[in-house]
Chain A
Amino acid sequence: MKRHVTASVPELALPTPERDHIQGLADAPNLLLEYGDYECSYCGEAYPVVKAIQKRLGARLCFAFRNFPLVNSHPHALHAAEAAEAAGTQGRFWEMHDLLYENQGALEDEDLAEYASMLDLDTERLMKDVLEGTYTAKIRQELRDGARLGVNGTPCFFINGVRYDGAPRVEDLLAALSAEPG
Protein backbone atom coordinates (compact mmCIF):
# COMPACT_ATOMS: atom_id res chain seq x y z
CA MET A 1 0.00 0.00 0.00
CA LYS A 2 1.30 3.39 -0.93
CA ARG A 3 0.98 6.46 1.13
CA HIS A 4 1.02 10.00 -0.08
CA VAL A 5 3.21 12.13 2.15
CA THR A 6 4.35 15.51 0.97
CA ALA A 7 8.09 15.98 1.27
CA SER A 8 7.62 19.21 3.22
CA VAL A 9 5.68 17.53 6.03
CA PRO A 10 7.59 17.67 9.33
CA GLU A 11 8.60 14.22 10.47
CA LEU A 12 7.13 15.03 13.88
CA ALA A 13 3.65 15.29 12.36
CA LEU A 14 3.74 11.61 11.36
CA PRO A 15 2.85 8.94 13.89
CA THR A 16 5.49 6.35 14.65
CA PRO A 17 5.18 3.35 16.96
CA GLU A 18 8.47 4.32 18.63
CA ARG A 19 7.06 7.60 19.83
CA ASP A 20 3.30 7.21 19.77
CA HIS A 21 0.40 5.13 20.90
CA ILE A 22 -0.97 3.86 17.63
CA GLN A 23 -3.89 1.77 16.46
CA GLY A 24 -3.43 0.04 13.15
CA LEU A 25 -0.26 -0.57 11.23
CA ALA A 26 2.31 2.19 11.04
CA ASP A 27 2.64 1.61 7.30
CA ALA A 28 -1.08 2.03 6.62
CA PRO A 29 -1.80 4.39 3.70
CA ASN A 30 -3.73 6.86 5.86
CA LEU A 31 -2.24 8.33 8.99
CA LEU A 32 -4.55 10.16 11.36
CA LEU A 33 -2.95 11.89 14.33
CA GLU A 34 -4.98 13.56 17.05
CA TYR A 35 -3.78 16.04 19.65
CA GLY A 36 -6.35 15.86 22.41
CA ASP A 37 -7.29 16.68 25.97
CA TYR A 38 -9.30 14.17 28.02
CA GLU A 39 -11.38 16.86 29.68
CA CYS A 40 -12.11 18.87 26.52
CA SER A 41 -15.74 18.49 25.49
CA TYR A 42 -14.91 18.96 21.79
CA CYS A 43 -12.45 16.07 22.05
CA GLY A 44 -15.20 14.09 23.71
CA GLU A 45 -17.40 14.80 20.70
CA ALA A 46 -14.59 13.78 18.34
CA TYR A 47 -14.04 10.46 20.15
CA PRO A 48 -16.94 8.57 18.49
CA VAL A 49 -16.06 10.27 15.20
CA VAL A 50 -12.60 8.70 15.27
CA LYS A 51 -14.12 5.33 16.17
CA ALA A 52 -16.46 5.58 13.17
CA ILE A 53 -13.58 6.45 10.86
CA GLN A 54 -11.53 3.54 12.17
CA LYS A 55 -14.44 1.23 11.49
CA ARG A 56 -14.90 2.55 7.97
CA LEU A 57 -11.25 2.52 6.95
CA GLY A 58 -10.14 -0.58 8.81
CA ALA A 59 -6.60 -1.64 7.95
CA ARG A 60 -6.15 1.36 5.68
CA LEU A 61 -5.91 3.64 8.74
CA CYS A 62 -3.27 4.17 11.38
CA PHE A 63 -4.53 6.33 14.25
CA ALA A 64 -2.29 7.94 16.85
CA PHE A 65 -3.13 10.02 19.90
CA ARG A 66 -0.91 12.63 21.54
CA ASN A 67 -1.60 14.68 24.62
CA PHE A 68 -2.42 18.37 24.49
CA PRO A 69 -3.90 19.09 27.93
CA LEU A 70 -5.01 22.68 28.57
CA VAL A 71 -4.55 22.40 32.30
CA ASN A 72 -5.63 25.91 33.25
CA SER A 73 -9.04 25.41 31.68
CA HIS A 74 -9.28 21.71 32.46
CA PRO A 75 -8.09 20.92 35.97
CA HIS A 76 -8.47 17.14 35.55
CA ALA A 77 -6.81 16.91 32.14
CA LEU A 78 -3.26 16.35 33.32
CA HIS A 79 -4.04 13.54 35.75
CA ALA A 80 -6.24 11.91 33.14
CA ALA A 81 -3.39 12.05 30.62
CA GLU A 82 -1.00 10.66 33.25
CA ALA A 83 -3.42 7.80 33.90
CA ALA A 84 -3.61 6.91 30.20
CA GLU A 85 0.18 6.97 29.90
CA ALA A 86 0.57 4.92 33.06
CA ALA A 87 -1.98 2.42 31.74
CA GLY A 88 0.07 2.35 28.53
CA THR A 89 3.10 1.22 30.49
CA GLN A 90 0.97 -1.65 31.77
CA GLY A 91 -0.11 -2.42 28.20
CA ARG A 92 -3.61 -0.92 28.27
CA PHE A 93 -3.28 2.62 26.89
CA TRP A 94 -6.21 2.48 24.49
CA GLU A 95 -8.55 0.86 26.97
CA MET A 96 -7.87 3.68 29.44
CA HIS A 97 -8.05 6.31 26.67
CA ASP A 98 -11.51 5.03 25.74
CA LEU A 99 -12.74 4.86 29.33
CA LEU A 100 -11.63 8.44 29.94
CA TYR A 101 -13.47 9.74 26.90
CA GLU A 102 -16.53 7.68 27.73
CA ASN A 103 -16.56 9.13 31.26
CA GLN A 104 -15.45 12.72 30.79
CA GLY A 105 -17.64 13.87 33.64
CA ALA A 106 -15.83 11.61 36.13
CA LEU A 107 -12.11 12.32 36.05
CA GLU A 108 -11.30 12.72 39.73
CA ASP A 109 -8.34 10.75 41.04
CA GLU A 110 -10.67 8.18 42.63
CA ASP A 111 -12.36 7.72 39.25
CA LEU A 112 -8.99 7.11 37.62
CA ALA A 113 -8.23 4.48 40.26
CA GLU A 114 -11.57 2.85 39.57
CA TYR A 115 -10.87 2.71 35.82
CA ALA A 116 -7.48 1.15 36.53
CA SER A 117 -9.17 -1.47 38.65
CA MET A 118 -11.84 -2.10 35.97
CA LEU A 119 -9.00 -2.77 33.52
CA ASP A 120 -7.30 -5.15 35.97
CA LEU A 121 -4.26 -2.93 36.15
CA ASP A 122 -1.93 -2.57 39.09
CA THR A 123 -3.97 0.31 40.53
CA GLU A 124 -1.50 1.21 43.22
CA ARG A 125 1.31 1.54 40.72
CA LEU A 126 -0.86 3.49 38.29
CA MET A 127 -1.96 5.98 40.93
CA LYS A 128 1.61 6.37 42.14
CA ASP A 129 2.57 7.26 38.56
CA VAL A 130 -0.33 9.71 38.32
CA LEU A 131 0.39 11.43 41.63
CA GLU A 132 4.15 11.53 41.15
CA GLY A 133 3.83 12.86 37.62
CA THR A 134 5.90 10.06 36.12
CA TYR A 135 4.77 11.01 32.60
CA THR A 136 4.48 14.79 33.02
CA ALA A 137 7.65 15.44 31.02
CA LYS A 138 6.43 13.28 28.12
CA ILE A 139 3.02 14.97 28.16
CA ARG A 140 4.58 18.46 28.28
CA GLN A 141 6.86 17.53 25.39
CA GLU A 142 3.86 16.48 23.32
CA LEU A 143 2.22 19.82 24.09
CA ARG A 144 5.36 21.70 23.04
CA ASP A 145 5.78 19.67 19.87
CA GLY A 146 2.12 20.16 19.05
CA ALA A 147 2.39 23.93 19.47
CA ARG A 148 5.37 23.94 17.09
CA LEU A 149 3.38 21.92 14.57
CA GLY A 150 0.60 24.50 14.69
CA VAL A 151 -1.88 22.91 17.07
CA ASN A 152 -4.12 25.83 18.02
CA GLY A 153 -6.74 24.09 20.12
CA THR A 154 -8.19 20.67 20.75
CA PRO A 155 -8.96 18.38 19.14
CA CYS A 156 -6.43 19.03 16.39
CA PHE A 157 -5.98 16.43 13.67
CA PHE A 158 -3.18 15.81 11.21
CA ILE A 159 -3.81 13.73 8.11
CA ASN A 160 -0.62 12.24 6.68
CA GLY A 161 1.27 14.99 8.46
CA VAL A 162 -0.83 17.92 7.31
CA ARG A 163 -3.03 19.81 9.79
CA TYR A 164 -6.70 19.29 9.14
CA ASP A 165 -8.65 22.51 9.57
CA GLY A 166 -12.13 21.22 8.74
CA ALA A 167 -14.88 20.26 11.13
CA PRO A 168 -14.26 17.10 13.20
CA ARG A 169 -17.17 15.26 11.57
CA VAL A 170 -17.09 11.75 10.12
CA GLU A 171 -17.96 12.72 6.53
CA ASP A 172 -15.57 15.66 6.44
CA LEU A 173 -12.66 13.73 7.90
CA LEU A 174 -13.34 10.76 5.61
CA ALA A 175 -13.45 13.07 2.62
CA ALA A 176 -10.14 14.63 3.62
CA LEU A 177 -8.61 11.18 4.21
CA SER A 178 -9.82 9.79 0.90
CA ALA A 179 -8.76 12.94 -0.96
CA GLU A 180 -5.23 11.91 -0.10
CA PRO A 181 -3.93 9.81 -2.96
CA GLY A 182 -3.15 6.49 -1.33
Chain B
Amino acid sequence: MNTDTKTASLRPPPRDRTTALQAGKPAPDFALRSTPDQTVSLSEFRGRPVVLAFYPADWSPVCGDQMGLYNELLSEFQEFDAELLGISVDGAWCHAAFCRDRKLHFPLLADFEPKGEVARLYGVYRATDGTSERALFVINPDGIIHWSYVSPVGVNPGAAGILSALEELQDKRES
Protein backbone atom coordinates (compact mmCIF):
# COMPACT_ATOMS: atom_id res chain seq x y z
CA MET B 1 0.00 0.00 0.00
CA ASN B 2 1.28 3.41 -0.85
CA THR B 3 0.98 5.54 2.26
CA ASP B 4 2.86 8.55 0.96
CA THR B 5 -0.24 10.67 0.46
CA LYS B 6 -1.61 9.71 3.81
CA THR B 7 1.56 10.44 5.74
CA ALA B 8 2.16 13.71 3.91
CA SER B 9 -0.85 15.28 5.60
CA LEU B 10 0.45 14.19 9.00
CA ARG B 11 3.83 15.73 8.56
CA PRO B 12 4.71 18.77 10.63
CA PRO B 13 4.59 22.10 8.80
CA PRO B 14 7.64 22.53 6.59
CA ARG B 15 10.58 24.17 8.31
CA ASP B 16 10.70 26.95 5.71
CA ARG B 17 7.94 28.60 7.68
CA THR B 18 10.70 29.81 9.95
CA THR B 19 11.94 33.32 9.28
CA ALA B 20 15.55 32.15 9.60
CA LEU B 21 17.71 32.83 6.57
CA GLN B 22 17.98 29.69 4.48
CA ALA B 23 20.76 28.03 2.51
CA GLY B 24 21.80 29.92 -0.59
CA LYS B 25 21.30 33.40 0.92
CA PRO B 26 24.29 35.65 1.55
CA ALA B 27 25.16 35.78 5.26
CA PRO B 28 24.66 39.39 6.40
CA ASP B 29 27.92 40.92 7.63
CA PHE B 30 28.17 42.31 11.13
CA ALA B 31 30.69 43.58 13.66
CA LEU B 32 30.10 42.78 17.32
CA ARG B 33 32.10 42.93 20.53
CA SER B 34 33.64 39.66 21.63
CA THR B 35 35.21 41.21 24.72
CA PRO B 36 34.81 44.67 26.23
CA ASP B 37 37.65 45.92 24.02
CA GLN B 38 37.61 43.64 20.96
CA THR B 39 35.32 43.53 17.96
CA VAL B 40 34.82 40.62 15.57
CA SER B 41 33.29 40.97 12.12
CA LEU B 42 32.03 38.14 9.99
CA SER B 43 33.92 39.34 6.91
CA GLU B 44 37.24 38.71 8.70
CA PHE B 45 36.68 35.01 8.09
CA ARG B 46 36.02 35.17 4.37
CA GLY B 47 37.83 32.27 2.73
CA ARG B 48 36.99 29.91 5.60
CA PRO B 49 33.76 28.29 6.74
CA VAL B 50 32.08 29.91 9.72
CA VAL B 51 29.76 28.27 12.22
CA LEU B 52 27.43 30.86 13.72
CA ALA B 53 25.64 29.53 16.79
CA PHE B 54 22.89 31.82 18.09
CA TYR B 55 21.70 30.86 21.57
CA PRO B 56 19.22 32.50 23.93
CA ALA B 57 21.34 33.30 26.97
CA ASP B 58 24.60 32.79 28.83
CA TRP B 59 24.21 30.71 32.01
CA SER B 60 20.94 28.97 31.16
CA PRO B 61 21.42 25.18 31.50
CA VAL B 62 20.85 24.12 27.90
CA CYS B 63 23.04 26.87 26.50
CA GLY B 64 25.84 25.95 28.83
CA ASP B 65 25.65 22.34 27.68
CA GLN B 66 25.52 23.35 24.03
CA MET B 67 28.46 25.76 24.21
CA GLY B 68 30.31 23.28 26.44
CA LEU B 69 29.84 20.59 23.80
CA TYR B 70 31.10 22.84 20.99
CA ASN B 71 34.06 23.76 23.18
CA GLU B 72 35.03 20.08 23.35
CA LEU B 73 34.66 19.77 19.58
CA LEU B 74 36.77 22.78 18.63
CA SER B 75 39.50 20.58 17.22
CA GLU B 76 36.88 18.91 15.01
CA PHE B 77 35.76 22.27 13.65
CA GLN B 78 39.38 23.29 13.19
CA GLU B 79 39.99 20.24 11.03
CA PHE B 80 37.58 21.83 8.58
CA ASP B 81 39.42 25.16 9.04
CA ALA B 82 36.11 26.48 10.36
CA GLU B 83 35.68 29.35 12.81
CA LEU B 84 33.07 28.91 15.52
CA LEU B 85 31.27 32.01 16.79
CA GLY B 86 28.68 31.91 19.57
CA ILE B 87 26.24 34.81 19.65
CA SER B 88 23.59 35.96 22.10
CA VAL B 89 22.07 39.24 23.28
CA ASP B 90 24.16 39.19 26.47
CA GLY B 91 26.70 41.98 26.93
CA ALA B 92 30.46 41.60 26.54
CA TRP B 93 31.11 41.56 30.31
CA CYS B 94 28.56 38.84 30.81
CA HIS B 95 30.16 36.82 27.99
CA ALA B 96 33.58 37.35 29.57
CA ALA B 97 32.40 35.92 32.89
CA PHE B 98 30.59 33.03 31.19
CA CYS B 99 33.62 32.17 29.05
CA ARG B 100 35.90 32.22 32.06
CA ASP B 101 33.56 30.08 34.14
CA ARG B 102 33.06 27.47 31.41
CA LYS B 103 36.60 27.68 30.04
CA LEU B 104 35.30 28.36 26.55
CA HIS B 105 38.00 28.72 23.92
CA PHE B 106 36.02 30.41 21.16
CA PRO B 107 34.52 33.90 20.87
CA LEU B 108 31.07 34.73 22.15
CA LEU B 109 29.68 37.80 20.43
CA ALA B 110 27.48 40.37 22.15
CA ASP B 111 24.43 41.17 20.05
CA PHE B 112 23.67 43.67 22.76
CA GLU B 113 23.23 47.17 21.32
CA PRO B 114 21.06 47.67 19.39
CA LYS B 115 19.72 44.58 21.10
CA GLY B 116 19.35 41.54 18.85
CA GLU B 117 20.11 43.49 15.68
CA VAL B 118 22.18 40.67 14.17
CA ALA B 119 19.64 38.04 15.26
CA ARG B 120 16.99 40.07 13.40
CA LEU B 121 19.21 40.24 10.30
CA TYR B 122 19.36 36.44 10.33
CA GLY B 123 15.64 36.13 11.05
CA VAL B 124 16.12 34.48 14.44
CA TYR B 125 15.10 37.14 16.96
CA ARG B 126 12.38 36.16 19.45
CA ALA B 127 10.64 39.44 20.18
CA THR B 128 8.45 37.86 22.85
CA ASP B 129 11.47 36.74 24.90
CA GLY B 130 13.93 39.45 23.95
CA THR B 131 16.48 36.79 23.02
CA SER B 132 17.51 34.96 19.88
CA GLU B 133 16.38 31.53 18.80
CA ARG B 134 18.71 28.58 19.28
CA ALA B 135 19.79 28.71 15.65
CA LEU B 136 22.77 27.38 13.73
CA PHE B 137 24.22 28.70 10.47
CA VAL B 138 27.09 27.20 8.56
CA ILE B 139 28.48 29.82 6.19
CA ASN B 140 30.68 28.85 3.27
CA PRO B 141 34.06 30.47 2.54
CA ASP B 142 32.35 32.84 0.07
CA GLY B 143 30.01 34.16 2.75
CA ILE B 144 26.93 32.26 1.56
CA ILE B 145 24.76 30.34 4.01
CA HIS B 146 25.26 26.65 3.29
CA TRP B 147 23.00 25.25 6.03
CA SER B 148 20.77 26.64 8.73
CA TYR B 149 18.74 25.06 11.49
CA VAL B 150 16.48 26.40 14.22
CA SER B 151 16.21 24.11 17.21
CA PRO B 152 13.38 24.23 19.73
CA VAL B 153 14.64 26.70 22.34
CA GLY B 154 14.82 24.07 25.10
CA VAL B 155 16.64 21.46 23.01
CA ASN B 156 20.40 21.27 22.61
CA PRO B 157 20.82 20.61 18.87
CA GLY B 158 24.22 18.98 19.32
CA ALA B 159 26.85 19.15 16.60
CA ALA B 160 25.86 16.44 14.11
CA GLY B 161 24.21 18.90 11.68
CA ILE B 162 27.15 21.28 11.83
CA LEU B 163 29.67 18.51 11.20
CA SER B 164 27.69 17.16 8.23
CA ALA B 165 27.43 20.64 6.73
CA LEU B 166 31.17 21.21 7.15
CA GLU B 167 31.85 17.83 5.55
CA GLU B 168 29.68 18.76 2.57
CA LEU B 169 31.56 22.03 2.17
CA GLN B 170 34.86 20.22 2.28
CA ASP B 171 33.68 17.69 -0.32
CA LYS B 172 32.59 20.55 -2.58
CA ARG B 173 35.96 22.24 -2.22
CA GLU B 174 37.81 19.06 -3.06
CA SER B 175 35.67 18.16 -6.08
* Interface positions of A (Cβ within 8 A of B): 69-73, 143-144, 147-153
**Contact in complex: B160, A148 (CB < 8 Å):** yes
Q: A150–B151 Cα gap in the complex (Å)?
A: 13
Interface segment, one of B19-27, B34-42, B45-53, B67-75 = B67-75
Interface size on B, residues (CB 8 A): 19
B28 located at the interface, meaning its Cβ lies under 8 Å from any Cβ of chain A in the complex: no
B103 located at the interface, meaning its Cβ lies under 8 Å from any Cβ of chain A in the complex: yes
Q: A41–B69 Cα gap in the complex (Å)?
A: 16
Q: Which residues of chain B come closer than 8 Å to A150, judged between CB atoms? A: 158, 160
Q: How many CB-defined contacts (below 8 Å) exist between A and B?
A: 44
Q: Which residues of chain B come closer than 8 Å to A147, judged between CB atoms? A: 69, 73, 76, 158-160, 163
Q: A152 with B163: in contact, given A70-B72, A72-B102, A144-B76 (CB under 8 Å)? A: no
Q: Which of A144, A148, A149, A152 contacts B69, CB < 8 Å?
A: A152
Q: A152–B102 Cα gap in the complex (Å)?
A: 17
Kindly report which residue of chain B lies nearest to residue A143, judged by CB atoms. B72
**Contact in complex: A72, B158 (CB < 8 Å):** no
Q: Which residues of chain A come closer than 8 Å to B76, judged between CB atoms? A: 144, 147
Kindly report which residue of chain A lies nearest to residue B76, judged by CB atoms. A144
Digitize B142-175: 1 where CB-to-A-CB distance is under 8 Å, 0 elsewhere.
0000000000000011111001100000000000
**Contact in complex: B156, A73 (CB < 8 Å):** no
Q: Which residues of chain A come closer than 8 Å to B68, judged between CB atoms? A: 70, 72-73
Q: A73 with B103: in contact, given A152-B66, A152-B69, A153-B69 (CB under 8 Å)? A: yes
Q: A30–B4 Cα gap in the complex (Å)?
A: 30
Q: A72–B70 Cα gap in the complex (Å)?
A: 11
B65 located at the interface, meaning its Cβ lies under 8 Å from any Cβ of chain A in the complex: yes
**Contact in complex: A72, B103 (CB < 8 Å):** yes
